[in-house]
Structure 1
Amino acid sequence: KFSTTLAKDINNVEIPYHDHMNHDITGTIKVSDEGDLGEIKVMIHETSLMPSDIHVQPGATIIWTNYSKEGLHAITSGVMDSGQTEKQPISGLSETLKAELIHVSSKSSVILNLNEDSDNPGRYTSPFIPTSPGVYEIRVYGTIDGVEIDETFISMGGGGDFDDIVPPTSIQFPQKLTSDREITGAITEATEISQLALIRSNTLNTWVIISLVIGGIGIVVSCLSLGLQFRRK
């Protein structure tokens, strides 16, 4: 699954596009004020798009979802024919593109800088170490040659093409390392137990003090009683 949001200044145009993995799969995006607004969904099948031709308003978001069982698809703008040469990688986009990494379940996100590979111009990386398993989204946005780009990719758990992040315990050897969450949970539980013990200790001390006070009062009363008896005699 991947998507793009049209810039609001794109209007009264017709944009052809095709599947870069299968040039026979083509479609068009007509943009005008009379088109549909919001999220427009397109299904990708083995040899076709449904619908292949769509009519949208400026600012609409188009979402392509792969329902094909025969491999990957890559939607690319323009018309590809047998006489057209392959597109070349674009260098120098580190300053105009950003990537947002999103952990879906926690809704945590971070902005990553894209670093161009000096040995492979046009190839960009942004190293990170995921600390929580689950579904992730990668949003790439910015401009390429002045054209606004806003593409979102999601891992398989959300219907996308790349792997989810899984816990590392399955490949840890010889000992399984305790996760940060488990450590935090253990510390929290120990803190709660110690606080409960302190409350109980304080309560016990209070009862001891009360007992001592009551005992002292009893002794004083007894002494007064004896004194009164001696006086009466």
Structure 2
Amino acid sequence: MKKKLCFGLLGCLLALSALLLTTPSAFAHEKRNVGKYTFVVGFLEEPAYANAKNGLDLTICDGNICNYTMKDGVKVVANPVENAEQSLKAEVSQGGAQPMALTLGARFGNPGKYAAYFLPTAEGAYTFHIYGTLNGQKIDEKFTSGPNTFGETQKLATYPSSSTNTASTDDNAALTQQLKDAQASAQTATTLGIAGIVVGLAGIVLAAVAFTRKPRVTSADAQKESIESLRG
């Protein structure tokens, strides 16, 4: 009975080990030996999502393996390569877009670890290009996300739905157009009102001029007209 139990436990352990070995990690980084150094590359935040802040996560170890130790309760690299940001450069590319230069910086309290922040805006595979020199050794390596390296960016669920956002945008656009039309109508009315006032003032001025130019009738003329009317 004990032998059967032992064999059963051993079989479960073997099956679990096989499952772990054959299932790709969702939080994987690519580890690569580059000359006398080891580079570990991936996204800072994994899984990575489009339109969510992320960045390049780079670890550089001295030797063909990265050793770790505990320091103040934190797991840190025991054989780090420090100050690499002074001689290395990095850029990121996606699809057919032009590569974008990244600002590589050392991570505080994590010797041998470096980061470069950016906002991935598309889903799919990204490539990190790291180049320059490291203690006299030329470095020119590209790391591309994929099933056997590190995770690609995924679509992030949105809320509220895009249809709601679209409707809201359409409503705002319609309201803006209505305001513009109202402003245009008010401007037209103001212009017409001013024109009417100008025309009215012009009429008053012309009437005043005509009145002042009307010939005056003297008393002699009036008497003469009266006599002529009596004769007639």
Is TM (by shorter chain) over 0.5? no
TM (normalized to structure 2)? 0.38
Q: Comparing both structures, which one devotes a greater share of its residues to helix? A: 2
Relative contact order (C-alpha < 8 Å, sep 6+): which is higher? 2
TM (normalized to structure 1)? 0.38
Q: Comparing both structures, which one devotes a greater share of its residues to strand? A: 1
Higher-Rg member (1/2):
2
